[in-house]
Chains A and B, each alone.
Chain A
């Protein structure tokens, strides 16, 4: 059950891939290029290197601090290999996820996560010790985890390019991926990496909504992959909103289990809660300020809560608010497909996409296989990042080995935001695109509570913006990354709402107020793709999870 670890510990004799410098730009050749240096990208890079590949990893920020996990504390879907415990862990998700999970994949993820979290322990991650003397391996402190992951990436002889956002993928004439190119925002110039395999590990898309550590997650990888023809799955499960104090970025919701929510006038907001009652909070926020107080947490438990999620308390301590004894204003911040489960569709057990040589890992890939249509939260997403990263790394290395030299011409596959189709000068600014996307996806009445008429209205606005952006976007060369981010968010919003429109029912986190029931006829996953023309279809592969009475 546990993977063969012999290839994991053997010291590597490979050389670190090198960069060549020419005229202020850098170029490199390698077997595998990983885009994104969060948990999934780090695991992918380590795994590809373990499999003998030469690996580059590029991140738009810094591998070690970037991504949703680094600044947070995350649970991990880590379950002892005990048949009963695993059965419970799988059952927990089936109804919640709208019966869209796949038990084979859940089992694989539980196995791989168990093995790899064990490897983290061997690398010296300081897991807490329970009274029984065993390590508790069900949660990771983000800063500690990601700092150590960077160290392992470096030890694996992966060459890291920090502050190097990818702008577009490269493709060869047969349609396969051939690398990527981007900018070096601190050193100046461009980077171009030719690689036989590319792993997209760029995270989900939070639409710059201010969630903790989430503003680097703008769906860049989804756009680049779609430009090569990759399709997506489950994009209707994209309306995750997290509770946050109005005065802070900390979008950690677990501890609100011990909160009471209040109206402005001090009455208890009935039915509100951190889990099932979140929609009550959203409804109230439409017309009043909502307050919370952690007044259900017994005093002896409070220090444990602090030790569990130190960063949750940081804003309170800094502003002199005692969340146990004082009420504080809260809001909901959109976390889109970061906590939502939609993403690039994967077509095999090594996390390949439909594009030859292109793999997807972590939140960039769909998490429906283990979460269905309901938020992965930290715990499932963390397990998925580890597992899909490891598999994508292994798959990408094998593909590179099988496909020989990377020769031949490669061209940039990027479209909107890079290669205008209009002949006149563009006047539309990327900021306007971002603002207009946010205006369609952030409001609760449009995205949390969905309805056909509103989805259609939003899509008309978004489609018009796409047509305009296609013609050309204003701004200088230095704005290329921002421009592409705004285009990526625009594409994301259109995939989301087309999928949402094409699922006229309520399932998982996808709430249609005009169709409030689950419809047994729609027990399938939904695919979406395309850029100028967005299409949707039913995934012919049925979910492997049989609906039974709860």
Chain B
């Protein structure tokens, strides 16, 4: 779900308010969009993709994060290179080439047919499931 609107990065262009398919934002008194209907967020990442200044962050879970989650901390997200990371792979923004040009689906999907490939030998003795998705 949408978790962060960075007021320092936001240029008050209202793009996210306009493009969100489920209308989760409203302009705040200072012009910075506020997340007023987080429960309606469908975690589609579109607001983040369209934001021209990488001011938004959508966390993967379809439920709200705990209030002290590191994924709600702007500095932490910047440190981990996550703020704006989707826009980067889409190749949207000045000086970037469209990521669609790098779409290798034709290679991947052509190998999708037929029998399921073998499990790779290096995983033969892999340990049991790790619920490696830590606390959100």
Residues of chain A whose beta carbon lies under 8 Å from any beta carbon of chain B:
60-62, 64-67, 70-71, 73, 75, 125-130, 136, 138-141, 143-144, 162-163, 185-186, 210, 212-216, 245, 247-250, 254-255, 257-258, 260, 262, 264-266, 273, 289, 291, 293, 295-298, 301, 304-305, 307-311, 314-315, 317-321, 326-329
Say yes or no: A296 contacts B118, CB within 8 Å: yes
B42 within 8 A of A: yes
Contact sample, A vs B, 7 pairs, CB 8 Å cutoff: A62-B20, A139-B103, A139-B109, A140-B100, A257-B117, A295-B120, A311-B45
| B4 interface hit (Cβ, 8 Å) | no
The answer on a CB contact under 8 Å between A61 and B102 is no
Which 3 A-B pairs have CB atoms at the shortest separation, nearest pair first?
A: A266-B128, A61-B21, A315-B60
Q: Is the CB of B117 within 8 A of A258?
A: yes
Using Cβ atoms and an 8 Å threshold, which residues of chain A touch B105? Answer: 73, 75, 136, 138-139, 308-309
Interface string of B77-88 (1 = CB under 8 A from A): 000001001100
How far is it, in angstroms, between the C-alpha of A315 and the C-alpha of B99 when the chains are bound? 18
Are the C-beta atoms of B21 and A307 separated by less than 8 Å? no
Contact B85 A317 (CB under 8 A): yes
With A247-B133, A310-B89: A65-B20 Cβ-Cβ less than 8 Å: yes
Q: What's the minimum C-beta distance from B52 to chain A, rounded to whole angstroms?
A: 13
How many Å lie between the Cα of A309 and that of B126 in the bound state? 26
Q: Smallest CB–CB gap between B119 and chain A, Å?
A: 5
Main SS of chain A's interface residues?
A: loop
Is A248 in contact with B120, judged by CB distance below 8 angstroms? Answer: no
> CB distance A70 to B44 under 8 Å?
yes
Q: Which residue in chain B gives the minimum CB-CB distance to A273?
A: B116
B89 close to A130 (CB less than 8 A) = no
In the complex, whether B67 has a CB less than 8 A from a CB of chain A is no
Q: A210-B62, A314-B60, A326-B130 are in contact. Are A257 and B112 (CB under 8 A)?
A: yes
* With contact pairs A65-B19, A264-B129, A319-B133 given, residues A130 and B112 touching in the complex (Cβ less than 8 Å): no
B99 CB → nearest A CB, Å: 6
> Given known contacts A65-B50, A210-B62, A248-B43, is B99 in contact with A319 (CB within 8 Å)?
no
Contacts of A214 in B (CB 8 A): 42
Q: How many A-B residue pairs have CB under 8 A?
A: 197
For residue B5, CB closer than 8 A to chain A, the reply is no
Q: Which of B66-125 contact A (CB under 8 A)?
A: 71, 82, 85-86, 89-90, 92, 97-109, 111-112, 116-120, 123
Asked whether B100 lies within 8 Å of A128 as measured between CB atoms, the reply is yes
Partner of A249, one of B44, B92, B112: B44
Whether A307 contacts B129 by the Cβ 8 Å rule is: no
Is the pair B123, A185 in contact by a Cβ cutoff of 8 Å? no
Does the CB pair A310–B90 fall under 8 Å?
yes
Partner of A293, one of B18, B49, B100, B123: B123
Q: What's the Cα separation between A273 and B18 when bound, in Å? A: 40
A548 to B22, CA, bound (A): 46
| B44 CB, min distance to chain A CBs, angstroms | 4
Q: What distance in Å separates the Cβ of A165 from its nearest Cβ neighbour in chain B?
A: 10
Distance in angstroms from B4 CB to nearest chain A CB is 12
CB pair B43 A308 closer than 8 Å? no
Complex Cα distance, B21 from A258, in Å, reads 32
B18 with A62: CB separation less than 8 A = yes
Q: Within 8 Å CB of A141, what residues of B? A: 90, 99-100, 103
CB of A319 within 8 A of CB of B60, answer yes
CB pair A327 B132 closer than 8 Å: yes
Q: B99 — which chain A residues lie within 8 A by C-beta? A: 141, 144, 307, 310
Q: How far is the CA of A327 from the CA of B85 in the complex (A)?
A: 23
CA distance A320 to B59 in the complex (A): 12
Please, how many angstroms separate the alpha-carbon atoms of A289 and B131 in the complex? Answer: 11
A186 touching B23 in the complex, CB below 8 Å, given contacts A75-B109, A139-B109, A264-B129: yes
User: B49 contacts which chain A residues (CB < 8 A)?
Assistant: 143
- In the bound complex, do residue A308 and residue B107 qualify as a contact, i.e. CB atoms below 8 Å apart? yes
CB–CB B106/A301 < 8 A: no
Residue of A nearest to B25 (CB): A186
Are B102 and A307 in touch, CB under 8 angstroms?
Answer: yes
User: Which residues in B have their C-beta under 8 angstroms from that of A247?
Assistant: 60-61, 133, 136
Asked whether A249 and B100 contact (CB < 8 A) given A65-B21, A319-B136, the answer is: no
Partner of B103, one of A289, A308, A326: A308
- Please determine whether A295 and B60 come into contact, CB atoms closer than 8 angstroms: no
A162 to B14, CA, bound (A): 14
| Closest CB in chain A relative to B84 CB, distance in Å | 12
Q: A61-B23, A248-B62 are known contacts. Are A295 and B103 too (CB-CB below 8 A)?
A: no
Question: What separation, in Å, do the CA atoms of A329 and B131 have in the docked complex?
Answer: 7
Q: Which residues of A contact B10 (CB under 8 A)?
A: none
Do residues B106 and A295 form an inter-chain contact, with CB atoms below 8 A? Answer: no
Given A213-B42, A307-B103, 19 other A-B residues pairs in contact with their CB atoms under 8 A: A65-B21, A65-B50, A67-B21, A70-B21, A128-B102, A139-B105, A143-B46, A144-B98, A210-B43, A210-B62, A212-B43, A248-B62, A254-B112, A260-B119, A265-B128, A266-B129, A296-B118, A307-B102, A310-B86
